[in-house]
Structure 1
């Protein structure tokens, strides 16, 4: 279950990166 959750998070993260690179950078620092 955790692996599936992680995959979903990665997909969401990727889509956010495509929409707003600045927000992507903030997320990367927050990880």
Structure 2
């Protein structure tokens, strides 16, 4: 499945944001 560049960027950013928020949540939940 080929993504357009814009879709790829949005997907990358959303994945990165999810990873960051997950790390922040695990830090603060301790």
TM-score, normalization: structure 2?
0.63
Give the 4+ runs in structure 1 shifted more than 4 A.
none
For structure 2, which runs of at least 5 residues remain unmatched after alignment? 1-8
**Structure number, greater radius of gyration:** 2
More helix by share: 1
Question: 5+ unaligned residues in a row in structure 1: which ranges?
Answer: 22-31
Flag the structure with more relative contact order, 1 or 2, with Cα contacts below 8 A and sequence separation at least 6: 1
| TM, length-normalised to structure 1 | 0.61
Provide the aligned C-alpha RMSD in A.
0.7
